[in-house]
Chain A
Amino acid sequence: MRLHRIEAVILRHMYELRHNTNHLINMLYFPVVNIVMWGFITIYLTNHQRLQPGLTSSLLGGVVLWGFFYGFQRDMGQGFLEEVWTRNLVSLFSTPLSVSEYINALVCVNLIKALIGLALESGIALLCYHFNIFPWLVEFIPFIAVLMFFGLSVGVVITSLIVRYGSRLESLAWSFAGVLMPFSCVFYPLKTLPVFLRPFALALPTTQSFEGMRQVLAGQGFSVVDFQWGLTLDAAYIALAILLFRRMFESARSRGLLIKME
């Protein structure tokens, strides 16, 4: 793995960010709209005494962290789609650039973008709704890492499917996280789900993160179990995602699909 090639792909996406307003909208506009809307909802519910004050933090914390996860996995898929849409894939992969260097570069770029979105949402939550995430930040960081690794797995799986089946599956980059959301217990505890759905929810690192986050916000300290489970699941999903990507990439090479992809 060579650093200069990772830097090259980062540079390519930084230039894209400079010229393409869609990226700025994804990075800045949606997080702002999201937190503003949810902030008003929590104010409404609190004022009408239907929501205990502690649950406000839980809701806004869920919004902020889910925004991070959603943005990261979406941008992983979209970063690859940029190469497909511009038919740059053939030029890129006829250089010494390896798939792992390419994915590492995408992780760096999208981590920066997702962290900017996270900081923006956290800032607005603090200024407008007096929800201060920063005192909990140290305990949140491990759960943010769990979300990031799962976002990486999901992004790689979506990319694998696009490599093999083409950009007709591109909407997965925007929609796939929506399927996971109800089972990830973003805004409600695991015990809210019907019993038969709980094993599925527990198999998602997102569930471990949000359960852990709620425990921190409730003042019950950092949940080592949730973190360890989340990380273990992440390791398994990343391994499976990489395996799938290799298979799909080789299948695409064998069928000549890299050349025709657009």
Chain B
Amino acid sequence: MSAHDVPILLEVRHLTKTFRNFRAVDDVSFCVDKGEIVGLVGPNGAGKSTVVHMLAGLITPSAGTFSMFGKSLNTHREQILQRLNFTSPYVAFPARLTVRENLAVYARLYNVSDPMDKIADLLDRFDVRKLANKPISRLSSGETARVALCKAFLNDPELLVLDEPTVYLDPLIALEVRDVLLDLQRSRGTSILYTSHNMAEVERMCNRVVFLSHGRVTATGSPIEVTRAILAEHRDEPALEEVFIRIARRQRDATS
């Protein structure tokens, strides 16, 4: 339980990942409470994707631990991944299969009951029903991203890890997708770990933000708390764009 008696779904402790001599993630700790949306943000190369991939079991940590639903991925992989879903625009689906076929395969993997009803409902919610019988290869990047979001909700995940879910979407579609995500999150109480470079989106979506730079946590808190801490001045509104630029410049200057 966290300090305010809400169950912690994800707890990351001193997570570190080193590739040869490069430390991509350095002693990162944070948690995600039940029903919370946490933004994991930072400049390119800050270590966001590496953290997310470690949580999905795709990269092994060099040091540190994390637990989901109070269990370790090393010992409870099947149970944890059944309750979690992960999606990223940088992964793809088998291109020759239709949208419906791809989702049917994932529905079977998660043992979804009434898979066809579930798929139809999600295709409607993300406004891609008309694409159901099209092969993935014929979809635009934005359409594929929305199909990936359908996949992400197939198993009614308690914890959803979304890596830049709106990166390929135009502003209108991105807005609509954010509304659907918020609606699904509120109605199902899903916790979301969310990475994005769109700071306005992060301010709108996230209860809390974990800012990474050079693989380390630079700031953490609500968007307004992080804004005040990093800009070192009083603000009434969050200004994560400014925060981001300041942190990115620091990271670039330190690298050069």
Contact = CB atoms under 8 A, between A and B. Distances in A.
Contacts of B82: 96
A89 to B, nearest CB: 8
B81 A95 contact: yes
B184 interface: no
Nearest to B20: A255
B58 A8 contact: no
Contacts of B94: 12, 15-16, 82-83, 86, 88
B101 A97 contact: no
A8 B97 contact: no
A96 B77 contact: yes
Q: Secondary structure at chain A's binding surface: helix, strand, loop or mixed?
A: helix
Q: Name the residue among A8, A92, A94 with the largest chain B CB count within 10 angstroms.
A: A94
A219 to B, nearest CB: 48
B19 A255 contact: yes
A91 B135 contact: no
A253 B60 contact: yes
Interface string B38-63: 00000000000110010011111000
Contacts of B77: 96, 98
B6 interface: no
A90 interface: yes
Interface residues of B, number: 37
Contacts of A91: 86-87, 91-93, 106, 151
A92 B110 CA distance: 11
Nearest to A2: B111
Interface string A1-32: 01011011101100110011000000000000
A166 B85 CA distance: 26
A259 B58 contact: yes
A258 interface: yes
Nearest to A20: B96
A93 interface: yes
A15 to B, nearest CB: 5
Nearest to B58: A258
Q: Is the interface of B mostly helix, strand, loop or mixed?
A: mixed
A128 B253 CA distance: 76
Contacts of B108: 4-5, 7-8, 11
A49 interface: no
Contacts of B195: none
A198 interface: no
B58 A87 contact: no
Given A8-B108, A91-B91, A254 B60 contact: yes
Contact of B92 (A7, A88, A96): A88
Contacts of B60: 250, 253-254
A15 B97 contact: yes
Given A91-B151, A255-B19, A259-B58, A86 B93 contact: yes
A201 to B, nearest CB: 40
24 contacts: A2-B111, A4-B111, A5-B111, A9-B109, A11-B104, A11-B108, A12-B105, A16-B96, A87-B92, A90-B53, A91-B87, A94-B85, A95-B106, A96-B82, A96-B110, A97-B109, A98-B77, A98-B78, A250-B60, A253-B59, A254-B60, A255-B19, A256-B17, A258-B58
Interface of A: 2, 4-5, 7-9, 11-12, 15-16, 19-20, 82-83, 86-98, 250, 253-256, 258-259
Interface of B: 17, 19, 49-50, 53, 56-60, 77-79, 81-82, 85-88, 90-97, 101, 104-106, 108-111, 135, 151
Q: What 6 A-B pairs are tightest by C-beta distance, nearest first?
A: A8-B108, A19-B96, A94-B56, A87-B92, A8-B109, A90-B91
